[in-house]
Amino acid sequence: MNTATLKWLTRCLGASCAMGALVLVGELQAQDFTYTNTNGTITITGYTGPGGDVAIPAAIDGLPVTGIGDSAFYGLTNLTGITIPASVTNLGDAAFAACVNLAHLAIGKGITTIKGGYEQGYDKATWGTFMWCSSLTRLAIPDNVTKIGDGITHLGGALGAFYGCSGLTNVTIGKGLAYLGAGAFNYCNNLAGVYFQGNAPTLGIDYFGEDSFHPDELVTLYYLPGTTGWSSTYAGRPTKLWNPQAQTTDGSFGVRQNQFGFNIAGTPDIPLVIEASAALAPASWIPLHTCTLTNGLFYFSDPQWTNYSARFYRIRSP
């Protein structure tokens, strides 16, 4: 049974506006979403629900949800989390811009491009897809995203995809990213670390040059061993090889003073988190210690190891 109800909107189109003509445009609504149906695929155009953590449906009335339209969730202050399913392949310009309480974001495996921004009108600003989402603190961009588009150049720098996300402290970028647009992380003033898992992406260039982290003076960019294209700086910011390794063959490995421990060696001053799990299940890992490899070496010990019949350890970025 089709539960959608028809909602008619009036829109003035093209040259008809000068003639005072009104054109009726059909928009559907199901549950908390308004949407359009184009050739059997659904694009969400708006949200009317109570907010909180919202999961975009993979299908509506049996049809796949493949798009989130321009400005679909723009400025919704009641939105605290969003999960985008794998069915969605297109994110519109400004789709989640100015959602200032959005704290949790899960980008689906169908997304390959995150747009940088667009011109809404001569008297309005330009907005990237997640611009001004100031409650985001951590961000993971999955491997399937290959491009973060250029923002539009404005006084003070390009207004890109995550421009003004002032709460961001850590970003992990998957190994698939090939292009990082101008303005992508401009004015993310608390951004401390960006962890690249792949080769150095091609940088977007605007009037200000390589302008993807302006003026994020705190941020250091980290890259993995075996990846290419990196130098001592990238987009004007310092880079470091992120290469911590547990030392299993030196005298530190094993039980000391009734505590199991080991040395961790790597590039000096890189940050890391040590986690443990008793079962290797994805949800079973718990953080035990956060530190920086001062002078490139740190000794970790676990006084609780005797409480477990087996315990596994791993090192990850913050």
* Three-state SS sequence of 67-133: EECCCCCCCCCCEEEEECCCCCCEECCCCCCCCCCCCEEECCCCCCEECCCEECCCCCCEECCCCCC
- Dist. CA 95–CA 166, nearest whole Å: 18
Q: Are residues 128 and 193 in the same domain?
A: yes
Q: Are residues 133 and 198 in the same domain?
A: yes
Residue 35 resides in a domain:
no
Q: Are residues 136 and 253 in the same domain?
A: no
Residue 268 resides in a domain:
yes
pLDDT digit string, tens, across residues 57-113: 999 999 999 999 999 999 999 999 999 999 999 999 999 999 999 999 999 999 999
pLDDT digit string, tens, across residues 171-230: 999 999 999 999 999 999 999 999 999 999 999 988 777 889 988 889 999 999 999 999
Residue 26 resides in a domain:
no
- Write the CATH number for 292: 2.60.40
First to last CA, the chain: 48
Residue 88 resides in a domain:
no
pLDDT digit string, tens, across residues 285-316: 999 999 999 999 999 999 999 999 999 999 99
pLDDT digit string, tens, across residues 135-179: 999 999 999 999 999 988 776 678 899 999 999 999 999 999 999
- The residues, any chain, with a CB within 8 Å of residue 163's CB and separated by 6 or more, are 117, 128, 131, 132, 151, 183, 184, 185, 186, 187, 188
Q: Is the dihedral of CA 126, 130, 136, 142 positive or negative?
A: negative
Q: Are residues 118 and 209 in the same domain?
A: yes
Cis status of the peptide bond prior to 225, with omega within 30 of 0: no
Q: Are residues 141 and 204 in the same domain?
A: yes
Cβ contact 56:83 at 8 Å: yes
Domain boundary residue, one of 198, 216, 241:
241
pLDDT digit string, tens, across residues 219-265: 999 999 999 999 999 999 999 999 999 999 998 999 988 899 999 99
Residue 38 resides in a domain:
no
Residue 136 resides in a domain:
yes
Rg (CA), the chain: 23
Q: Are residues 203 and 253 in the same domain?
A: no
Q: Are residues 297 and 256 in the same domain?
A: yes
Range of the domain at 151: 112-241
Closest to 206 measured CA to CA, from 126, 273, 98, 130:
126
Domain boundary residue, one of 241, 267, 290:
241
Q: Are residues 253 and 291 in the same domain?
A: yes
- Dist. CA 183–CA 221, nearest whole Å: 16
Indicate whether this model's pTM tops 0.85.
yes
Number of domains in the chain: 2
pLDDT digit string, tens, across residues 4-44: 433 333 333 333 333 333 333 457 887 899 999 999 999 99
Q: Are residues 187 and 116 in the same domain?
A: yes
Give the type of residue at 147. Answer: K
Q: Are residues 262 and 146 in the same domain?
A: no
Q: Are residues 218 and 275 in the same domain?
A: no
Domain boundary residue, one of 241, 271, 306:
241
Residue 94 resides in a domain:
no
Residue 232 resides in a domain:
yes
Q: Are residues 154 and 220 in the same domain?
A: yes
